[in-house]
Amino acid sequence: MSDISTISVHGRRVAFRRAGDTGQRPCVVLVHGIAGDGSEWEPVLDTLSTSYDVIAPDLAGHGESTRLRGDHSIGAFATWLRDVLEALEVERATFVGHSLGGGVVMQFAYQFPEYVERMVLVSSGGLGREVSALIRAASLPGAEWVLGGVGVAARSAEPLLAAVGVGPRTEYGELVHRIGGLTDGDRRAAFVRAVRAIASPGGQRVNASDRLYLAEDVPTVIVWGARDRIIPVTHAHATHEAVPGSELVIFDEAGHFPHGDDPERFTAVLENFIRSTDPASYDKVRIRRRMTSRDDVENRQSAPSGGEGGQITTSSSRPDTKEPAMPKYLLLKHYTGGPEPLGCPPMNEWTPDEIAAHIQFQRDTVKMLTERGEFVDALAAAPTGNWVRYGGPDKGPDVLDGPFPETKELVAGWFLIDVESEQRAHEVAAFASSAPGPRGEPIYEWIEVRPVMSEPPSFE
């Protein structure tokens, strides 16, 4: 297995494994799944490196790489990967993505198609609603605290499992190993934020189905384990039908980690796929024509629901004028008050770095909402203020400096969002409430969610 190397990108540490003749052979980039790291590819990396320049990065917040601040969306990971490849002087590659990494690879191909020669999607996320209960549970409020304890238990169980043959290269052993890694606070925070960006208690929210047609010219192979308990193999068959010219390979005896369950076969599949296909050539004019000639998706059979707008998803397109307008919601930020005390010191007791991280989170949230087409407005309220009223026909406004009711201290700012449902408004509010505070820990402030009236109320 290649040693871990590190570089600094935007002042943050990036860890990666690289094997083979650097820059002298075709490049293969291996992108691991959630809560994992580049060591996931250990069973296949050395063999692949005899023919290719192989790079297996630790995604931000995973392994030895510094985590992202704020935005943990698939788009943020794709942009991070582009910057890493630029730093490593990689211009083109075959991209192999497992689970979350598959979603990152598809998003990368959508955002940066000029880099992509081929795609290999391995038990990939972002292709349907269904996902394991573990991932759905991790999106719930308070998951950080629960996962810390679960991680301790998993780490304690690893030696016992290894003694009975359930090692880290088995599906159960790998899952336990990943959960055990969540005892690290940064890794746990990255895991929970990434999960919340892609999933909800109802399942996956990110779905690439409606833009896979753009990858028609990119040679694609879909690899899945028939016994996958994390993401069902039905997603593989549906994706194969949605991607013209794609190949589908099912490992009948494998689960969620086919490259770990049968590394020899996986390596053979990958090498044969690369040898038998020509790398895609990026044609901006062809892509533009393909996008603008697409039939009206509203009049065709509905694609799978959910998704992160601005990324490769189904829910990014807005209803046309024949559909009712999407409801607007006001998210009032309560640093104090709410159903229960916030439990953290006031902001004037935070360090400058803690304040900067908190503000950056708000900016990243605005960016995420803007990319989804859900952002209307956001403002922060200063702690100072005045009472003002009409002062009379020959007078100026009456202005007083106080006294103010206790409620003045409750609302510190707000988001005005335009979303498809109250459930989505609650999801945005839950995400906004996890802004970092002292020591970088989420503050979990209460967010008041109020519908904005689009017409006068009826009293009939």
- 377 near 415, Cβ under 8 Å? yes
Give every CB contact of residue 408 below 8 A, 6+ residues apart in sequence.
385
Residue keyed to tokens 């094997």: 19
- 155 near 257, Cβ under 8 Å? no
* From 32, 256, 259, 334, the catalytic residue: 256
Letter string b/e over residues 134-165, b meaning 16 or more CB atoms within 10 A of that residue's CB: ebbebbeeebbeebeebbeebbeebeebeeee
CA geometry: angle 250, 254, 256, nearest 5 deg: 95
Pairing of strands 116-122, 93-98: parallel
Active site (annotated) includes residue 256:
yes
Torsion of CA 452, 315, 96, 138, to 10 degrees: 50
Active site (annotated) includes residue 62:
no
* From 2, 49, 65, 99, the catalytic residue: 99
Crossing angle for the helix pair 143-163 and 185-198, to the nearest 10 degrees: 110
Rounded-to-integer distance, Cα 21 and Cα 27, Å: 9
Sheet of 446-451: strand order equals 375-380, 411-418, 328-334, 446-451
Rounded-to-integer distance, Cα 239 and Cα 108, Å: 17
Query: Residue 258's closest CA among 302, 300, 227?
Result: 227
Rounded-to-integer distance, Cα 120 and Cα 124, Å: 9
Rounded-to-integer distance, Cα 114 and Cα 108, Å: 10
Rounded-to-integer distance, Cα 103 and Cα 111, Å: 12
Active site (annotated) includes residue 99:
yes
The residues carrying an active-site annotation are: 99, 228, 256
